[in-house]
Structure 1
Amino acid sequence: MTLLGRLLKNRRAGETHTAWNLPNLRGPELLALTSRHFGDGGSMPLEHCAKTIGGADLSPHLAWTPLPPGTAQLLLVVEDIDVPMAKPAVHCLALIDPAAGHLEPGALAARRPGPGVRVLRSTLGRGYHGPAPIKGHGPHRYTFQLFALATPVDSARDATPVDRARPRALLPAITAPVLDRGRLTGVFER
């Protein structure tokens, strides 16, 4: 795998196609998103990585500053922006009740999500999927992007229900105004 990582070293999705850069998800950037497990730009502990590389696939603790008035729902998108594909891989997509206040470790699990958390489909399945970059590919950045929405995502009448929609179809279709947003980046390398 190290050889494959070296061969793909210069191929990375980049930030252009992240949820953060979608025109419909733009908004003020005053929301501070933090974790007690790693700082912004810091290394993610192994327990938050995929089981296939020795981790526990445990979503990290996440906390945020007070939400703007009128926040109806939070949208959390976790993307690997260094995956060697045309677009970032969505590692988790979830809707969160603003009353939750924060997420404890493991709150993004598919089988038993935390209180007020509704996990949706991601590129890799449902729930949180920790980092598992190709060995030798170099550091991968995992962006945790939180959007405070003025109306719930599933209040819009779409052809595909929110729970079944693929991330690349759902994210550009969100019409709820973004009242505020924030992000946190964790790094992992094999």
Structure 2
Amino acid sequence: MPLPLMMETDAFEDGGIVPPRYGCFGGNVQPGFTFRSVPADAGSLALILHDIDVALDGSTEDGLHWTVWNIPPDSGGVPEGGLPAGAVLGRNVENRNAYLGPGAPPGPRYHHYVFELFALAAPLDLPATAGRTELLRAMEGRVIAKAAYVGRFRRPG
């Protein structure tokens, strides 16, 4: 049986606190991730970062912070503050093609930010203007494996 797809970062532990440097009110630096056990038949990878503790406009949509697709499966990951050649940066909740770091308000509880990594059967034919809805639709039926990594964040206050 093959090993499961994995993603790791030195920036914070899985389930741990995201340092302010990676938050939108800190440095807004995109953390780097290392990918392991990428399936041999993967044609590309995609990443989605979202705040699962937010419900936008009374809907089931949560806070989308980052989308990236067509990451080469042999890239080994994404470097801090950058992307491998060929990767496409999609739109976030602010309708910008950018990483938007965690920004949960001060308060008694942390928000949970989920980084999801998808191994896909083939690269996606999507323009950089695409958002999460278009990305998920394009990924439908092409997901070979999936991994997740969670960070918790709240602004001091």
What's the TM-score once normalised by structure 1's chain length?
A: 0.71
Deviation at 1:80, TM superposition (A): 0.6
Structure with bigger strand share is: 2
**Residue in 1 that maps onto 2:90:** 120
> Of 46, 58, 73, which aligns to 1:75?
46
* Aligned counterparts, 1:122-161, within 5 A: 122-124=92-94, 125-136=96-107, 138-154=109-125, 161=126
> Of 116, 120, 130, which aligns to 1:165?
130
Conserved in 2, the CA contact under 8 Å of 1:83 and 1:133?
A: no
Does 1:105 find its partner at 2:80?
yes
Label 1:173 to 1:71 Cα distance change in 2 as closer, same or farther (>3 A): closer
Q: Which has the larger radius of gyration?
A: 1
Q: CA deviation digits over 1:49-88, x for unaligned, max 9?
A: 11xx2x1111111011121111111010001111243321
**Residue in 2 that maps onto 1:179:** 144
Q: Structure 2: how far apart are the matches of 1:49 and 1:75? A: 21
Structure with bigger helix share is: 1
What's the TM-score once normalised by structure 2's chain length?
A: 0.85
Q: Structure 1: how far apart are the matches of 2:46 and 2:138? A: 13
Given residue 162 of structure 1, which amino acid in structure 2 is its aligned partner? P
Q: Structure 2: how far apart are the matches of 1:29 and 1:186? A: 23
Conserved in 1, the CA contact under 8 Å of 2:6 and 2:36?
A: yes
Q: Structure 2: how far apart are the matches of 1:186 and 1:59? A: 13
Q: Structure 1: how far apart are the matches of 2:118 and 2:3? A: 9
**Residue in 2 that maps onto 1:44:** 18
Cα RMSD (Å)? 2.0
Q: Structure 2: how far apart are the matches of 1:179 and 1:168? A: 19
Runs of at least 5 residues in structure 1 that lack an aligned partner in the other structure: 1-27, 108-112, 155-160
Conserved in 2, the CA contact under 8 Å of 1:120 and 1:126?
A: yes
